[in-house]
Amino acid sequence: MKFLDQTKIYVRSGDGGAGCTSFRREKFIEFGGPDGGDGGRGGDVIAVCVDGLNTLIDYRFHQHFKAKTGMHGMGKNRTGARGADAVLKLPVGTQIFEEDNETLIADLTEVGESVVIAHGGNGGFGNLHFTTSTNRAPRRHNPGLEGEERTIWLRLKLIADAGLVGLPNAGKSTFLATVTAAKPKIADYPFTTLYPGLGVVRSDDREFVLADIPGLIEGAHEGHGLGDRFLGHVERCRVLLHLVDAGCEHAGKAYKVVRGELEAYGHDLDSKVEIVALSKADTVDAATLKQQMERLKRAIKSAGPAVAEGEKPRAPLVLSAATRTGVTEVLRALMANITFAKKVEDGPVEKDETWQPLKA
């Protein structure tokens, strides 16, 4: 199944049904009077957040959605049936925008959430509604009101507990394949990951969702490489895992490139809790690894996220997904930060629940 995270669609709610002009005609009943029923209401266009979807590919070729028109009223004071709704089933994390792609209509973040995008038109009145003391046999009815129509944008931002960021070929896909059942494309050339990937990690009998984002290069915020459009998928992540290739020319410079792109993107990505790991440790010797670690520590101190007064920047971890060296430590660090972030979201953290940064 292909990945699609943004699409433009047209929706229209149903028109209301017309009222009816009718008179009661029965044997032995004189001057039966009007008995025209009202028209039925038109169907709504409803967006519903459902489980089991992680792409908007269903809306790539089917882009027009229209609810049904309400049925017209009938004699014997019968109201027309309501028109059927048009239901858009969307994955968790979908945002709905106006045609300008800036005005937010709704943000669906939980399964079962729904929002009415376009309301159906009301049904018209039958002639029974127009009976007065001076007009006992009205011969008029109302047409139904027209439905609403609008063009909207659907934008998906995957919801994950942790997100993987780094330069191309930093080992992100290999790490995802090692710790989850996901099967991303892995190769020895840059940009093997073209679309974000998700996987469920199990660590110490606990689980969390990990998102793999395509690699960033310098100038990604200006559209270089694959650009920074996919960074929207880590906006909702509680923790970032920043992987730096131990075999690159300069680990500190590589770290600063990605940090610069996070700052340029905005949306507070650069202020998120970040765990840094020197990946592919098995590809370099001990002396090079030590040198790269020192470079990375200096870069984190100068360009890393802000830390509380009196605290030191978090020390980088050493990781090799191929040999599973340091994998457990990285997963435990992620789990500890995710757990703390969830506690903060649920309410004030008690004094005995204060969190201390894990040491490398």
Nearest to 114 by CA among 103, 102, 123, 105: 105
Q: What is the reported pLDDT for 174?
A: 87
Quote the domain boundaries for residue 322: 162-353
pLDDT score of 21 more than 90: yes
Do 79 and 181 sit in the same domain of this protein?
Answer: no
C-alpha Rg value of the chain to the nearest Å: 29
| pLDDT tens sequence across 234-266 | 888 889 999 999 988 899 999 999 888 888 888
Q: What is the reported pLDDT for 358?
A: 43
Residue 360 lies in a domain: no
Looking at per-residue pLDDT, the higher value among 57 and 230 belongs to 57
Q: What is the reported pLDDT for 353?
A: 45
| SS3 state at 95 | strand
Tell me what the mean pLDDT of segment 110-129 comes to.
94
Do 167 and 276 sit in the same domain of this protein?
Answer: yes
Domain boundary among 156, 175, 197: 156
Q: Looking at the DSSP assignment, which residues form a beta bridge with residue 26?
A: 29
Do 104 and 190 sit in the same domain of this protein?
Answer: no
Q: What is the reported pLDDT for 223?
A: 67
Q: What is the reported pLDDT for 219?
A: 72
Strands 197-203 and 206-212: antiparallel
Q: What is the reported pLDDT for 314?
A: 76
Residue 59 lies in a domain: yes
Nearest to 277 by CA among 153, 174, 360: 360
> Quick one: 154 exposed, middle or buried, by C-beta within 10 A (0-12, 13-18, 19+)?
buried
Domain boundary among 156, 188, 212: 156
Residue 359 lies in a domain: no
The 8-class DSSP code of residue 152 comes to E
User: What does the chain come to in residues?
Assistant: 360
pLDDT score of 85 more than 80: yes
Nearest to 41 by CA among 17, 18, 19, 11: 17
Tell me the C-alpha distance between 241 and 264, whole Å.
18
Do 120 and 219 sit in the same domain of this protein?
Answer: no
| SS3 state at 75 | coil
pLDDT score of 16 more than 90: yes
Q: What is the reported pLDDT for 306?
A: 67
Q: What CATH number corresponds to the domain at position 199?
A: 3.40.50.300
Residue 169 lies in a domain: yes
Tell me the C-alpha distance between 348 and 159, whole Å.
23
Do 36 and 140 sit in the same domain of this protein?
Answer: yes
Looking at per-residue pLDDT, the higher value among 21 and 343 belongs to 21
Tell me the C-alpha distance between 328 and 325, whole Å.
8
Structure tokens at 242: 């920043």
Do 83 and 220 sit in the same domain of this protein?
Answer: no
Instruction: Strands of the chain (E only): list them.
Output: 6-12, 45-49, 64-66, 86-90, 94-97, 104-108, 114-118, 149-156, 162-166, 197-203, 206-212, 239-245, 273-279, 317-318
Tell me the C-alpha distance between 338 and 48, whole Å.
28
Do 138 and 192 sit in the same domain of this protein?
Answer: no
Q: What is the reported pLDDT for 181?
A: 79
56: Cβ contacts below 8 Å, ≥ 6 apart: 4, 5, 6, 7, 90, 91, 94, 154, 156
Q: Which amino acid is at 265?
A: Y
Tell me the C-alpha distance between 112 and 122, whole Å.
27
Do 222 and 345 sit in the same domain of this protein?
Answer: yes
Q: What is the reported pLDDT for 39?
A: 96
Q: What is the reported pLDDT for 10?
A: 97
Q: What is the reported pLDDT for 217?
A: 73
Do 226 and 311 sit in the same domain of this protein?
Answer: yes
pLDDT score of 187 more than 80: no
Q: What is the reported pLDDT for 190?
A: 66
Domain boundary among 156, 184, 200: 156
Q: Looking at the DSSP assignment, which residues form a beta bridge with residue 157?
A: none
Return the percent helix, strand and coil in the chain, to nearest 5.
25, 25, 50
| pLDDT tens sequence across 26-73 | 888 888 889 999 999 999 999 999 988 888 989 988 999 999 999 999
| pLDDT tens sequence across 267-289 | 788 888 889 999 989 888 999 99
Residue 132 lies in a domain: yes
* Torsion-angle region of 51 (φ positive above 0: left; ψ -120 to 50: alpha; else: beta): beta
Looking at per-residue pLDDT, the higher value among 174 and 224 belongs to 174
57: Cβ contacts below 8 Å, ≥ 6 apart: 1, 2, 3, 4
Number of domains in the chain: 2
Residue 46 lies in a domain: yes
| pLDDT tens sequence across 96-105 | 999 998 999 9
From residue 285, alpha-carbon distances to 246, 326, 329 in Å are 10, 16, 21
pLDDT range class, residue 310, cuts 50, 70, 90: low
Looking at per-residue pLDDT, the higher value among 82 and 260 belongs to 82
- CA torsion, ordered 7, 199, 232, 115, to nearest 10 deg: 50
Do 149 and 229 sit in the same domain of this protein?
Answer: no
pLDDT over 90, % of the chain: 42
State the average pLDDT for the chain. Answer: 86
pLDDT score of 201 more than 50: yes
Do 121 and 216 sit in the same domain of this protein?
Answer: no
| SS3 state at 355 | coil
pTM score over 0.85? no
- Cβ contact 120:44 at 8 Å: yes
